[in-house]
Amino acid sequence: MNSAVEITNLLYRYAELIDAGDLDGAAALFEHAKLKVNTSDELQDSRGVLSIWRNYMKIYPCGTPRTKHVITNPIVEIDEAAGTATCRSYYTVLQATDDLPLQVIAAGRYHDTFERVDGAWRFKYRDYSLLDLKGDLSGHLQASLLGSLGPGAR
């Protein structure tokens, strides 16, 4: 498998794990990475982001957040000799619950950095703070977080 496919598969694996409610599995993808989760310069490790997800993300009785993360437009730039890569991509999050019809609840961008270690690509950094459009997040996030996201988050 070529490097670009391996890297985009990491993007898609993240979406698959989050949508399945496997927060531990999603966090494990970032075991060697740092994540920027808000507009401050503070970075989180995989344990920190897992704690954030567990504290703020609603998980329904089915064991999932009732979401579908769609990752598109990956622009992958690879330095094979250095074993490094970057990727800029878009995400769109859809959700449907018993109380909310199917709708787009968020859209934004991921800016990722990858490194190849022992022949395998892994996340090194993710800017998780690039939320561009907010829909009704009331079915996705706990009420305590909604106020910090400003108008439109409901």
Whether residue 29 lies inside any domain: the answer is yes
Is pTM, for the whole model, over 0.85? yes
Q: How confident is the model at residue 7 (pLDDT cuts 50, 70, 90)?
A: very high
Whether residue 152 lies inside any domain: the answer is no
Q: CA neighbours within 13 Å on the CB side: how many for 43?
A: 10
* Domain around 56: 3-146
pLDDT tens-place string over residues 75-111: 999 999 999 999 999 999 999 999 999 999 999 999 9
Q: What is the CATH number of the domain that holds 87?
A: 3.10.450.50
pLDDT at 4: 97
Whether residue 153 lies inside any domain: the answer is no
Whether residue 112 lies inside any domain: the answer is yes
pLDDT at 46: 95
> Backbone dihedral region of 63: left (phi > 0), alpha (psi from -120 to 50 degrees) or beta?
left
pLDDT tens-place string over residues 115-130: 999 999 999 999 989 9
pLDDT at 151: 44
Whether residue 105 lies inside any domain: the answer is yes
Q: Considering its fold, how many domains does the chain have in total?
A: 1
